[in-house]
Structures are given as C-alpha cells and as structure tokens.
Structure 1
C-alpha cells in the first residue's frame, strides 16, 4: 500500500481554511462535506487523501460489506444477520472517478456467479463502500450528469435503493462528500454545489519562506516516505485524539437564541437562498466550538462557520465569483460577545464567570485554533505551518500564454486600438443542437451515444450488461451447442454477452472567430457580439458545453477565450477585448483552425460549430484576400460545420463575406441578423 503524505505535514499559507474545513466535516459529517476550489498544484488532493489517515477507527460487523454501525439498531445490512462478531477498522476514503459508470457507483449483479452458477447476487458499489467514510471526487465539476443525479439522491436521503436487473435492495449511504476542482475547467452544477456544506478557495502561498518549506518537505517525503511519516506520527495521533474528543463534545455544545438569531441575520444579510445555509452554518459553528474545546457557540465560531458555509450560496448567476465580504460580516456580528444560553435543567452549578481559565467565559474569546493547534487560521500574518496547501508531485503543466492569460493588445502598423467595448446584458438563448448522433462527452445538448440515456438497443461492445439480450442470444444458440439445458439452467458463453446501447445527450464546442478591427467598433457591433457569446456561455454552463473565441485585429489574431466551460474566465477575457486596426482575416481563420485541431487531437469525438463574424474584408499584409480564401478552403476540408455572419452595411456592398462563406462551405447570414438575439438565432437554426 503506498505511503500517504501526512495531513499534519501539509504547509499552510496562513490565509486558507482548507485543513479546518476538512476537520470540521470529520467532526460533524452532518455538515455536508467540503468543496475545495483552487488551481493546479495547491495540495487539494494531498490534503483530502491525508484526512482519512487521522480519522478515528470505526466498529463494524465482521464480513459486512455495507459497514453499518452495530450500535445503530435502526439500520440493517443486506448482508445480515451477523454471527461472526465485531471488528474495528480504519475509515475508508473511496475515490469516485469522473468516468465511472452507474453500475460502479450503485452496484450491479455479480457477473461471474450469474454466468457460472446461475446465482443472483448483488455486488455493492462505491456508495456502499463509502458508508460511514469519505467519498472523494477529484475534478467534481467534470462529473457526468447522471452520476450527479445519483449523488444528489444519496446525499439527500442517506439511502441507496436499487431496483434493476431483478434486484430489489436498499442500504444506508451516509458519507462525507469531498470534492476538488479547478474553476478554469468549468463550473459545478448548482444543485450539487448547494449540497456541499462548506467551500474553500485555496491558492499557493506567496511568501517565499513558505514556498521553500513546501519544497523542502516534499523532497524529504519523496526521498524517505516511511521516515517522513514517522516524524509526524505524534502530530497525526494528536489530531486523531482531538477529532475523537470533539466528536464526543458536539452533542453537548449549546447554541443560545442570540447565536441562532445572529446566524439568521448573517444569512439574510448575504441574501442566500433557502434555509440550508442557516442549518449548515449552525452545524459548522457547533463543530468549531467543539474543536476549540468550548461547550457553547461564540461569535468567533459563527464567523468561521459563515466564511466556510456561505460563499458558494450567495451566487445569483454563473458570472458571480464566489466569496464573502468580511467587513460586512464583521459589521453584522458586531463587537459584543453573545450571551450564554440558559443552563440545561440537569446542569450542575453555574461556572464562575470570573475564572479566566473557563472556556465559556463570555468576556474571554478564545482564538479559533488552526488545525495544527496554532494561531487563528484567519490571521494572514501567521507563518506557522499547518494544514493548508502543499506542493504535490502533480506540478502545474506549462501552458501557452493564449491558454492562461489574456493577451496584451498587439501594436504595429495599422493598429489603433479603442477602449474595450462593454458587453450587452446576457440573456437566455434558445436551445440549439448539432444534427446527427455523436459520441462526445456527456452533456445536455445534442444527441449522442454514450453510457447514459435511454436504452435503444444492444451490442457486443463495452458498457452496462443488457441482461435480456444476453439471455436471448444464449437461448438462440442452445440447439447449435447440442447441450440444451445444463442442470435445468440456460448455458451461457462469453460470446453471448450483450451490452446496452444508450442514446443521451452530448456537449459541443462553440468556436467564435470575431473580427475586432476598427470597422467593428461602429454601431456597437462588438457589444452585441460579446452579449451573444456571454449568453451562449451561460447556457453552456447549464448544458456542459464548451465555448472558445478567437479575435483578429491589426496584424495578428489572439485566442482570447480558449475552449472552456468557466463563465468566470470567459467574462474576464471578453471584458478586456478591444477593437481597432486592420483586418487580418487569414490569421483569424488560421488561429481558429489551430484551436480546432488541438481539440480534435485531445478528443476526436468533439463536434464543434464555427461561427465567423466579419464583413469579409482582408486588409492586413500582401495578398490578404488570396491568403484568407486559401485558409478558408483548408477549413472547408476539415468538414467543420460553419456559419459566416456578414457584418457589411451600406448601399454599396462588395459581397466579400458571401465569397468567404462559399470557400468555407458555410451558411451565409446577412447583417440584418447581427444583433445579440439575431446572432443566437443564427446558431440556433444552424443545420450541421
């Protein structure tokens, strides 16, 4: 078994709450788990995998695959009743791959026993293994929608019910859901986002001393993993004891009416939807008080809980960046400490409030300890190491400037840039699809064959077992095999296996190639184009699509928006797009062609739609018109469905965009439809 990097050795930047959020979820799983957002190489996965090593062990029945709690008389296991006694084992951290199938998540028939012995036995899935443990989803924002639906149902009910393939079974599935994601790769579905109790934004430390410490520890671990783990054994055991103590204390932590009213005021002030935010914030405040060793919730507990539970719940649309105004939070909380809740009826004598050692003293506010017992984790000036961020062996890959940072405006002959045009108000576009049936990444737009959707047939390929078609294939061959029935059962052969062919929906790539030259600055054309792209991107966020944009002006073309599903990145890139200069049409088409080439190499199944917004003029460089037509012919040979939106206006028209459309073998759309609504209608009505 590989050695796990110790949780206590993860170096903190002093600004994030990663370690604290994971510990609070471990203390009180009813909080609902943690979503960790951050760039590559910020120790998201390292910290999560290290968490399981410090969790107290649990008691289970020996041989129980569903890990029910022997002390919970209200829960039963499909493997029961048990006569072999009880055992203690470590908590499981179960990883759910983004490409997992529904059968792997829920469970399925035991194929070997079904085919060899004719027995119907259920093989539990990942949700059963995660019961009373941690379910970890790396790149959770890329998880297929049908798996998201199953997770939502399990998280809401704490139970998994299977009714399929002749199996009727139900089992408990209560787990801490922890997900990690890079926001640049797309946003998370809103329903799943709300199911995460806490959220944390992590980044690499900027302090050179902390960065050096990260590298030093990582090198030491890679050189001698066993020795490195032994050096942190005492700290690991101390964290385990503190978690166990806090779990025992959670049930006795009191929440005064004043504290609950203050939590409600905070949630109302930040205009969060629903009441789940109030519940989660209260639970997180209780867990934080237990972690700090207090028997009542204080102002400090509410502050920490709000910073972790509210940022992802105050978003109104995908363009809103997650976060919380800490100054506003402090104004709402005020400076006065919360009054003590009334004593319980069976409580002992009141504690002397003058005792400075009393953790419940209302005049003494204990600092919120960091996960390693150091100073308050929100003290940005603290340089004490503790859980937070750490360099992993998955170092950030080098990316081209066009894929990581907005391009600076080019300068040169014929380039006179104007200020970036603002985007119009985004709106909800109509649904559009690419004709035909693809095999692209699962999404919610065009028809496609994949692992999810309605069953339309069977084949011998990979996929979930189609039991009826498998039995039918075996029955048709019994006479040929000459054996008939064997012991009263149908004889099966591996060649009889059939898998289901399903038709669902796929995601598409919308590739915009936009003329940003000086002529496009007139009549607010760029504002209309930006509004359309942002509108389509918002729709892509809901339908799991990807959108890209190339802008050409002056003497060159820039990939201002690489293929992405992140509306935050898209809004920032588009806001900086300026207009001015000549029209390098050939360079724009070449840049679009290169983006599509890379995407096809990355995923040959991707089905793009190229939308070229231009008046057809080519004025940059010698033989500009001939070069642009040659590039258009090259794009036509790639068989990319295309649309040319003709921006030419005025009584005298040269028809250059019409000629460009002919070379691209694309549909030509006149300027009359180039408004925000018109551009979306063009894409909506496009027949690939």
Structure 2
C-alpha cells in the first residue's frame, strides 16, 4: 500500500499489500522472475531492465517482488533509512542514537514526468516562506535507499533525470546544492526499469547501469496463455482468496531468498569460473570491465540461490544470459539477445580438457590414433580430396575466377535497381546535426533549442493569473521584499501576495518529430547510389535515436506515396522498415510531399508541442502524372507557407549532367540544402530555418 511518512518522505510502497498479485502466481515469466530474485539476493548486481511488449506482466511482477523481500532494519525516525549496525556518519538526520526498527521492504516508484526537485529533494518551500528557516525535504532517492527504485517506461525518462540516476548509481549518494540547501546522503538502491522498445530505446549510459536485462514476450503456446488467463480472471474474481492460495509458496520463496543472502558470502568463485567469465565477455566484445564484474556477481548469486557454495558452469551460463545481452549491442539497431552457440563455444574454450588416462597416448605412441596422420578416420584427410589446399578445407579460386567474381560484384553494386528490389545499407556514420531554429516550447530532448519545463534556469517571469508552474524562489522573495513593512505583524514569516509569485524560465533542448520523406523510385539511379541513400538515412536515424526524437517515414515510388511508419519513438522500427524498402518505378514527388504534409498535420493535432523537421531525400525528379514537377513545386510552396522546417538531401549523382532539380525544390520549400555527401558530421551545426520562429 502507498504511505506517506510524517517526516516528509515522498509517497512510496513500503508495505506488502494483502491483495496484490502474488509473485509466485506469475505464469510463463521464469527468466524475469529469476533476474528479479538474483538482484534481490545480491543488490551489488545493479538492478534489472525488463524489455517487452505491452501486456506482458512486467509491472505486475516488479510490484509483486516486494511481497517476498526480507524486511529491513532501520534507525528509528531516520528519513534516510540508515542501517542501525552501520549508520552513515554524514546522514542529515544524524547523529543517531541506539535502537532499531524493522519495516517491510520498500518499493519507490519514479514517474517519468517527475521533476528534479522531486527526485533529489529540495528546500522545504512552506517552511522557508512561512517560518524563514532553511529545511531540506528529502526526495525519491532518499526514500529508495536500501530498497528498490522502480521506473516504469524508463526509456521515456527525461535526460536530466537520467543524469541524476547515473550520478546516484555511480556514487551511491545523492547530493543537493541549490536554493541555500547543501545536503548529501546515501542513495544505494536496486534500480528496476520496464520499457516497451516500440516507444524508443534507452540511453546507452543508463542501459549499462542495469546489471541484468530480460526480454519478455507473450508465450505463443496456447496452454501457457490459458494458464495466464485463468490466473488473472481468478484473481479479479476473488483477490483475497486468490492471494491466500499462494500464501505457502510466497513464504517458501521468501525464506529461500533469505537463505541465499546468508549463503552469499560463503560462495567460492574459483579461478576456473573467473576464466570462463573472462572468456565469455571477451568473445562477445563487450566494452569495459563492468560486464565481467556483473556476470561474476550474478554467478555467485545464482550459486547461492541454488544452494551451492562453489560457482559452477551452470551458474556462469545463467549469469551470462542475463548480464550480457544489452552490453553486446554495438549500435542501437543491433538485435538484442545472446548467440547461444557463441556462448557455448566460449564456455568450452575456457574449460580445461579432461586429462588423458594414458600419458603416452596409447599403443600408437604420443598423440594416439593411427601412426599415419594421413590415413582415414583420424580426423585428417587429403586436402585435394576435400577440395582445397587451405588448412580449414576451403578452396582457393583460380585467378580468372576471382577476377570474374569481382567484376560480377561490381556490376551488382553499380547496376540499376530492378522494380521491387530491396537494396541494403552499409555501416552508419555520425551524421550532421540538423535542428529547428528558434526557442520553441516543446518536449524535452537533445536536438533544438527550446524553453522547457526542465533544464537550466535562465531567468524568471511573472505568473499569469493562476498559471501553474515551478516558482522561482529567490525572484519571488525579491518581489515580496519591498512590502514586508505592510505585514502588520512581526516574526520570521514572509508575506507573499499573488502578484509576487515569479515563475522560473528554463532553457534546454527539445526533441522534434523528424519525418523522412524518401524517394524510392527508379530515378534514384544505381543500386550503389540507393545503398548510399539508405546509409545516410540510417545515420540520421541513429542521430535521432541519440537525441530522443520521434521519427516517421513516408516513401514514394510508382504511382503513389506510402506512410511506411507513422510517427513513433521506436527508431529501431524505422530502420527495419527502411531496410526492407523496395525501390524502382516512376517518381510521384508531389504525392510524396502531400502525404508528408498530411502526416505532419495529424501529428500536430496529437502532439502540438513537438515541432516537426521534414527531411526530404530525393534527386528532385518528378515523373508521375501531368505537370509532375510543377505540381511538386506547388506542394513545396504549401509546406513553406505553413512554416514547416525542412532539409532537402540531394541524391542526384555527382558525375555526369546534373539537373539541379532538388536545389530548385529546396528554394521553394525555404529549406536547407545538402548534397548526399554532406550528411556526414562536420564541425559546423546546420540549422534549419523555422519560418514561424524567424
């Protein structure tokens, strides 16, 4: 149940609910349950990230975890949950006296829309204004100390809150330096996050802070789905009775977690196990050493969970499957997961071979087997018989065959793309920053300059009517100071009139809607050119991912345009749609621009605070319908009149006769013009002119 401390702590889930869905009743989520249990046994693992589609019991499992966690001993009256046996000497509520109080495990939920003051804590505004004293009001990190901090939809968390979590996770402490408050306190917690990848990915720095990750999908087995429905319907029909039926399994699980915690310090991590962990992490080419440490801690926790005092291969295997999937991704578009065959190969390579009973290798002398290594059956064979001279059995092609092969490959890369053919992209590169000029009032992100609800304070302004907003404390006090002699009473309090309240003006970066309008027609030229185009777009999509943008994809080819992807936060989905995009046919340029305008119109109704940025990728040719190019210029003029910030990426080949149609189109759009080769990042920041902001 949710409670609020009398000491001013935020609302938290601090006691088990008698009618919450039981952890042991969750069906078909064994990996998820194991990851949460291991993190509970050893908080040093660093928490759990749960990725999965909607409706897969992610939040249900996390909230049910508190029901089976061991209770926590705290110093009575301490708002920061200090350990009575090892109280923190710098605790703001210290020094602490003797005594201890036991309470249930605490789950603190951090909303994605929380303010930084809510998370870190801040000056107690009421006491400051009414009593004239400086008092610190703890935030969510203080409440989560020695407990669980749960962030639902963690991938939607604003960047400034991500920075706060990163600092706390790295230091194990929270520091507040603002509004006359200077406080530091311990903040060690198990971070648990859930997310739907379709709504966008997680920032790499925060992703790495999660010790374990689990990808959850709904079972496709009808029998399992029946069990899920049966359990949920039974719970909704009689919550109390349903919970009572699982009371025994819940208690057994809680007792097993306590025993595993007690056994944790006795588990031996052998040199052989360390070698296996190092081999596995090296084989998956993970960055840094955090993966090795997390895998080792997880293997120890798994051994304790299994009741063993020595880490075995099964423990290392289970740990690697949970600790490495999110660390092996070289870029945001790599598919999550771990290659089972590669994992087993790494384990086998690190396992010492079984000793031979006969040190001489048997009757045939050292090495055993047939005395003639060329004889059949001994693992070796005649290279000619196997078809090659190479040690691995591969055949070297004849020089003329090799040259013919190279010519064929070159022709394949540079030849014209057939209608409906899919051309892939190459390795993405760092793209140039494209942004919308002017300070918008948009959604927090990392692309364009904006006045946002979060960010650094750059000034203050008067409140309009009963307008809601975060007050600027010092500016409010300054506004109220001249008329304090009119109070009519004495004391430390401050008389504040409604007209004195000043609101903070904050400046940061906003995320934009980046809509790609891509020419997929045959006029785009060779397969090599289309591959370059897709690589440029993937690079821009990677940039959009890093800057927390919403993206969309409109394509045009043949006789019509298509909304390949409506605006979404999942850049990963956009890349998949782009990679499978066929090419060829005529060029309905006007239809593509009008389709893009319609997508932006609808998006503005749904999310008016997110400013659009249209990226038109084309060679400027229009070949479908009567007066094709004139109609395209007319559509471009309409977009310009409505102030749509646009950049045109010209895909016309650099060699040969250039028509310059994309440049004319950019002029009609009032757009920034880039050649395809200029998409790569340079030292300059290209700014797209926003006609309305100018």
| Equivalent residues of 2:432, 2:680 under 8 A apart | no
Which runs of structure 2 are paired with 1:103-122 in the superposition (5 Å)?
103-122=117-136
Residue 13 (structure 2) pairs with residue 12 (structure 1):
no
Partners of 1:523 and 1:309 in 2: how far apart?
40
- Superposition deviation, residue 647 in structure 1: 5.3
Q: Which residue of 2 aligns with 1:675?
A: 676
| Equivalent residues of 2:295, 2:320 under 8 A apart | yes
Which runs of structure 2 are paired with 1:30-179 in the superposition (5 Å)?
30-74=44-88, 77-81=91-95, 85-179=99-193
Q: Which residue of 1 aligns with 2:384?
A: none
Residue 482 (structure 2) pairs with residue 453 (structure 1):
no
* Secondary structure of the corresponding residue to residue 608 of structure 2: coil
Q: Which residue of 2 aligns with 1:582?
A: 586
Q: Which residue of 2 aligns with 1:527?
A: 531
> CA-atom RMSD, angstroms?
2.9
Partners of 1:657 and 1:74 in 2: how far apart?
66
Q: Which residue of 2 aligns with 1:398?
A: none
> C-alpha offsets along residues 536-557 of structure 1, whole Å, 9 cap, x if unaligned?
1222222222332211112222
TM-score using structure 1 length: 0.82
| Equivalent residues of 1:583, 1:619 under 8 A apart | yes
Partners of 1:678 and 1:234 in 2: how far apart?
62
> C-alpha offsets along residues 594-614 of structure 1, whole Å, 9 cap, x if unaligned?
321232123211111212233
Partners of 1:570 and 1:665 in 2: how far apart?
25
Residue 316 (structure 2) pairs with residue 302 (structure 1):
yes
* Secondary structure of the corresponding residue to residue 177 of structure 1: strand
| Equivalent residues of 1:561, 1:574 under 8 A apart | no
Structure number with bigger Rg: 2
Q: Which residue of 1 aligns with 2:421?
A: 419
| Equivalent residues of 2:433, 2:685 under 8 A apart | no
Q: Which residue of 1 aligns with 2:14?
A: none
Partners of 1:121 and 1:336 in 2: how far apart?
57
Partners of 1:302 and 1:255 in 2: how far apart?
10
**Larger RCO: 1 or 2 (CA < 8 Å, sep 6+):** 1
Which runs of structure 2 are paired with 1:329-368 in the superposition (5 Å)?
329-334=343-348
Query: Quick one: structure 1 residues 115 and 232, their matched pair in 2 at CA, closer, same or farther if it must change by over 3 Å?
Result: same
| Equivalent residues of 2:432, 2:679 under 8 A apart | no
> C-alpha offsets along residues 22-72 of structure 1, whole Å, 9 cap, x if unaligned?
000000101000011111111111111111111111122333221111122
| Equivalent residues of 2:59, 2:194 under 8 A apart | yes
Residue 37 (structure 2) pairs with residue 29 (structure 1):
no
Residue 690 (structure 2) pairs with residue 684 (structure 1):
no
Residue 243 (structure 2) pairs with residue 229 (structure 1):
yes
| Equivalent residues of 2:198, 2:570 under 8 A apart | yes
Equivalences, count: 605
Q: Which residue of 2 aligns with 1:351?
A: none
* Secondary structure of the corresponding residue to residue 425 of structure 2: coil
468, 475, 495: which one aligns with 1:469: 475
| Equivalent residues of 1:68, 1:75 under 8 A apart | no
Partners of 1:421 and 1:522 in 2: how far apart?
10
> C-alpha offsets along residues 596-649 of structure 1, whole Å, 9 cap, x if unaligned?
123212321111121223355544456766765664454344321224455567
Q: Which residue of 1 aligns with 2:564?
A: 560
Partners of 1:172 and 1:578 in 2: how far apart?
55
| Equivalent residues of 1:18, 1:202 under 8 A apart | yes
Query: Quick one: structure 1 residues 651 and 121, their matched pair in 2 at CA, closer, same or farther if it must change by over 3 Å?
Result: closer
| Equivalent residues of 1:525, 1:675 under 8 A apart | no
Out of 489-498 and 641-650, give the one that drifted further: 641-650
Which runs of structure 2 are paired with 1:374-389 in the superposition (5 Å)?
none
Partners of 1:142 and 1:175 in 2: how far apart?
20
* Secondary structure of the corresponding residue to residue 451 of structure 1: strand
> C-alpha offsets along residues 53-95 of structure 1, whole Å, 9 cap, x if unaligned?
1111112233322111112245563224456953322111111
Which runs of structure 2 are paired with 1:409-558 in the superposition (5 Å)?
417-459=419-461, 460=463, 462-479=468-485, 482-483=486-487, 486-487=490-491, 489-522=493-526, 524-558=528-562
Partners of 1:337 and 1:575 in 2: how far apart?
40
Query: Quick one: structure 1 residues 626 and 137, their matched pair in 2 at CA, closer, same or farther if it must change by over 3 Å?
Result: same
Residue 642 (structure 2) pairs with residue 641 (structure 1):
no
Partners of 1:651 and 1:255 in 2: how far apart?
67
Partners of 1:307 and 1:592 in 2: how far apart?
43
* Secondary structure of the corresponding residue to residue 164 of structure 2: helix
* Secondary structure of the corresponding residue to residue 688 of structure 2: coil
Q: Which residue of 1 aligns with 2:400?
A: none
Q: Which residue of 1 aligns with 2:302?
A: 288
- Superposition deviation, residue 448 in structure 1: 0.9
- Superposition deviation, residue 567 in structure 1: 4.3
Partners of 1:430 and 1:623 in 2: how far apart?
34
TM-score using structure 2 length: 0.81
* Secondary structure of the corresponding residue to residue 538 of structure 2: helix
Partners of 1:683 and 1:170 in 2: how far apart?
39
Partners of 2:22 and 2:41 in 1: how far apart?
18
Gaps of 5+ in 1: 340-414
Query: Quick one: structure 1 residues 564 and 679, their matched pair in 2 at CA, closer, same or farther if it must change by over 3 Å?
Result: farther
- Superposition deviation, residue 565 in structure 1: 4.7
- Superposition deviation, residue 332 in structure 1: 2.4
Partners of 2:345 and 2:652 in 1: how far apart?
55
Query: Quick one: structure 1 residues 335 and 543, their matched pair in 2 at CA, closer, same or farther if it must change by over 3 Å?
Result: closer
| Equivalent residues of 1:521, 1:579 under 8 A apart | no
- Superposition deviation, residue 141 in structure 1: 1.4
- Superposition deviation, residue 563 in structure 1: 3.0
> C-alpha offsets along residues 98-152 of structure 1, whole Å, 9 cap, x if unaligned?
1111100001122222222223221110000101110011111111111111111
- Superposition deviation, residue 313 in structure 1: 1.4
* Secondary structure of the corresponding residue to residue 274 of structure 1: coil
- Superposition deviation, residue 233 in structure 1: 1.5
| Equivalent residues of 2:71, 2:105 under 8 A apart | yes
Q: Which residue of 1 aligns with 2:394?
A: none
> C-alpha offsets along residues 333-377 of structure 1, whole Å, 9 cap, x if unaligned?
2399899xxxxxxxxxxxxxxxxxxxxxxxxxxxxxxxxxxxxxx
- Superposition deviation, residue 525 in structure 1: 3.6
Partners of 1:32 and 1:619 in 2: how far apart?
57
- Superposition deviation, residue 308 in structure 1: 0.7
| Equivalent residues of 2:430, 2:680 under 8 A apart | no
Partners of 1:146 and 1:41 in 2: how far apart?
29
Query: Quick one: structure 1 residues 153 and 471, their matched pair in 2 at CA, closer, same or farther if it must change by over 3 Å?
Result: same
| Equivalent residues of 1:42, 1:203 under 8 A apart | yes
